[in-house]
Protein backbone atom coordinates (compact mmCIF):
# COMPACT_ATOMS: atom_id res chain seq x y z
CA UNK A 1 0.00 0.00 0.00
CA UNK A 2 1.19 3.46 -0.94
CA UNK A 3 0.99 6.41 1.46
CA UNK A 4 -0.70 9.49 0.02
CA UNK A 5 -1.93 12.83 1.30
CA UNK A 6 -5.69 12.84 1.85
CA UNK A 7 -7.88 15.42 0.20
CA UNK A 8 -10.84 17.21 1.78
CA UNK A 9 -13.10 14.90 -0.24
CA UNK A 10 -11.69 11.92 1.70
CA UNK A 11 -13.09 13.24 4.99
CA UNK A 12 -16.29 11.11 5.01
CA UNK A 13 -14.32 7.89 4.47
CA UNK A 14 -11.79 8.84 7.14
CA UNK A 15 -14.55 9.70 9.63
CA UNK A 16 -16.27 6.36 8.97
CA UNK A 17 -13.01 4.51 9.59
CA UNK A 18 -12.46 6.63 12.69
CA UNK A 19 -15.81 5.49 14.03
CA UNK A 20 -14.69 1.84 13.80
CA UNK A 21 -11.60 2.69 15.84
CA UNK A 22 -13.64 4.75 18.31
CA UNK A 23 -16.17 1.98 18.91
CA UNK A 24 -13.47 -0.53 19.89
CA UNK A 25 -11.40 1.87 22.00
CA UNK A 26 -11.28 3.46 25.43
CA UNK A 27 -13.32 6.28 23.89
CA UNK A 28 -16.34 4.05 23.10
CA UNK A 29 -18.36 5.48 26.01
CA UNK A 30 -18.12 8.97 24.53
CA UNK A 31 -20.63 9.62 21.72
CA UNK A 32 -18.98 9.84 18.28
CA UNK A 33 -19.94 12.90 16.23
CA UNK A 34 -19.16 11.87 12.66
CA UNK A 35 -19.96 15.32 11.23
CA UNK A 36 -17.49 16.93 13.66
CA UNK A 37 -14.79 14.43 12.74
CA UNK A 38 -15.47 14.98 9.03
CA UNK A 39 -15.05 18.74 9.53
CA UNK A 40 -11.75 18.27 11.35
CA UNK A 41 -10.40 15.85 8.73
CA UNK A 42 -11.54 18.16 5.92
CA UNK A 43 -9.79 21.12 7.59
CA UNK A 44 -6.59 19.15 8.21
CA UNK A 45 -6.56 17.91 4.61
CA UNK A 46 -7.17 21.47 3.39
CA UNK A 47 -4.02 22.74 5.10
CA UNK A 48 -4.70 23.16 8.81
CA UNK A 49 -2.61 20.04 9.26
CA UNK A 50 -2.26 16.83 7.32
CA UNK A 51 -3.85 13.42 6.92
CA UNK A 52 -1.79 10.68 5.32
CA UNK A 53 -3.78 7.66 4.18
CA UNK A 54 -3.31 4.24 2.64
CA UNK A 55 -5.86 2.64 0.36
CA UNK A 56 -6.71 -0.87 -0.67
CA UNK A 57 -8.65 -1.13 -3.92
CA UNK A 58 -9.51 2.57 -3.66
CA UNK A 59 -10.84 2.36 -0.10
CA UNK A 60 -9.03 4.10 2.76
CA UNK A 61 -7.93 1.44 5.25
CA UNK A 62 -5.60 3.47 7.44
CA UNK A 63 -3.92 6.75 8.09
CA UNK A 64 -2.50 9.29 10.47
CA UNK A 65 -3.91 12.76 11.09
CA UNK A 66 -1.96 15.51 12.77
CA UNK A 67 -0.61 19.01 12.76
CA UNK A 68 2.14 21.25 14.11
CA UNK A 69 1.88 24.03 16.67
CA UNK A 70 3.94 26.17 18.99
CA UNK A 71 4.17 25.02 22.57
CA UNK A 72 1.77 26.90 24.81
CA UNK A 73 4.77 27.89 26.95
CA UNK A 74 7.27 28.75 24.21
CA UNK A 75 7.92 29.48 20.58
CA UNK A 76 9.35 26.16 19.40
CA UNK A 77 7.21 24.08 17.04
CA UNK A 78 6.29 20.44 17.63
CA UNK A 79 4.21 17.89 15.73
CA UNK A 80 1.29 15.98 17.23
CA UNK A 81 -1.16 13.40 16.02
CA UNK A 82 -4.89 13.51 16.41
CA UNK A 83 -5.30 9.91 15.42
CA UNK A 84 -3.35 7.01 13.95
CA UNK A 85 -5.89 4.58 12.57
CA UNK A 86 -5.74 1.28 10.72
CA UNK A 87 -8.53 -1.10 9.91
CA UNK A 88 -7.87 -4.37 11.75
CA UNK A 89 -7.43 -6.39 8.55
CA UNK A 90 -4.97 -3.83 7.14
CA UNK A 91 -2.61 -3.57 10.11
CA UNK A 92 0.99 -4.40 9.36
CA UNK A 93 4.28 -2.93 10.52
CA UNK A 94 5.52 -1.97 7.05
CA UNK A 95 2.51 0.24 6.30
CA UNK A 96 2.50 1.69 9.82
CA UNK A 97 6.19 2.61 9.51
CA UNK A 98 5.53 4.35 6.19
CA UNK A 99 2.65 6.38 7.68
CA UNK A 100 4.59 7.51 10.76
CA UNK A 101 7.65 8.29 8.63
CA UNK A 102 5.60 10.42 6.24
CA UNK A 103 4.16 12.32 9.21
CA UNK A 104 7.62 12.84 10.76
CA UNK A 105 8.98 14.21 7.46
CA UNK A 106 5.95 16.51 7.06
CA UNK A 107 6.40 17.86 10.62
CA UNK A 108 10.13 18.43 10.18
CA UNK A 109 9.51 20.30 6.91
CA UNK A 110 7.26 22.68 8.89
CA UNK A 111 9.92 23.41 11.49
CA UNK A 112 8.97 20.92 14.19
CA UNK A 113 11.79 20.00 16.56
CA UNK A 114 9.98 16.90 17.80
CA UNK A 115 6.85 14.81 17.31
CA UNK A 116 4.62 13.64 20.13
CA UNK A 117 2.53 10.56 19.53
CA UNK A 118 0.65 8.40 22.00
CA UNK A 119 -1.47 5.37 22.73
CA UNK A 120 -4.74 6.54 24.28
CA UNK A 121 -7.20 4.06 22.77
CA UNK A 122 -6.39 1.16 25.07
CA UNK A 123 -5.92 -1.02 21.97
CA UNK A 124 -2.72 -3.10 21.81
CA UNK A 125 -1.00 -0.67 24.19
CA UNK A 126 2.23 -2.58 24.79
CA UNK A 127 2.58 -3.68 21.16
CA UNK A 128 2.02 -0.14 19.90
CA UNK A 129 4.37 1.34 22.50
CA UNK A 130 7.05 -1.14 21.38
CA UNK A 131 6.45 -0.13 17.77
CA UNK A 132 6.94 3.56 18.63
CA UNK A 133 10.12 2.76 20.56
CA UNK A 134 11.40 0.84 17.53
CA UNK A 135 10.88 4.03 15.48
CA UNK A 136 12.97 6.08 17.92
CA UNK A 137 10.25 7.56 20.10
CA UNK A 138 10.93 7.60 23.84
CA UNK A 139 8.59 7.11 26.76
CA UNK A 140 7.83 10.38 28.54
CA UNK A 141 5.18 9.24 30.99
CA UNK A 142 1.84 7.51 31.43
CA UNK A 143 -1.60 8.90 30.68
CA UNK A 144 -4.42 8.60 33.19
CA UNK A 145 -8.19 9.05 33.13
CA UNK A 146 -10.86 9.26 35.78
CA UNK A 147 -14.57 9.18 35.13
CA UNK A 148 -16.54 11.79 37.03
The rounded distance, in Å, linking the Cα atoms of 146 and 124 is: 20
* Residue 21: domain span: 3-134
pLDDT of residue 122: 85
Query: Is 42 within a domain?
Result: yes
Residue 143 located in a structural domain = no
Indicate the number of domains in the chain: 1
SS3 content of the chain, % helix, strand, coil (to 5): 40, 25, 35
**Is residue 119 domain-resident?**
yes
Predicted local distance difference test score (pLDDT) of residue 143:
85
pLDDT of amino acid 124: 86
Each of the 148 residues of the chain gets a pLDDT tens digit; together they read 899 999 999 999 999 999 999 999 999 999 999 999 999 999 999 999 999 999 999 999 999 999 999 999 999 999 999 999 999 899 889 999 999 999 999 999 999 999 999 998 888 889 999 999 999 999 998 888 898 9
Residue 140 falls within a domain, yes or no?
Answer: no
CATH code for the domain in which residue 62 is found: 3.40.630.30
Residue 148's DSSP bridge partners are none
Amino acid sequence: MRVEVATPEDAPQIAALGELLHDSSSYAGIPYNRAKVEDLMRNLAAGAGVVFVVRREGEIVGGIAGSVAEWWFGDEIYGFEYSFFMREDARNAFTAIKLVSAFNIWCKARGAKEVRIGVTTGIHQEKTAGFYRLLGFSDIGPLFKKEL
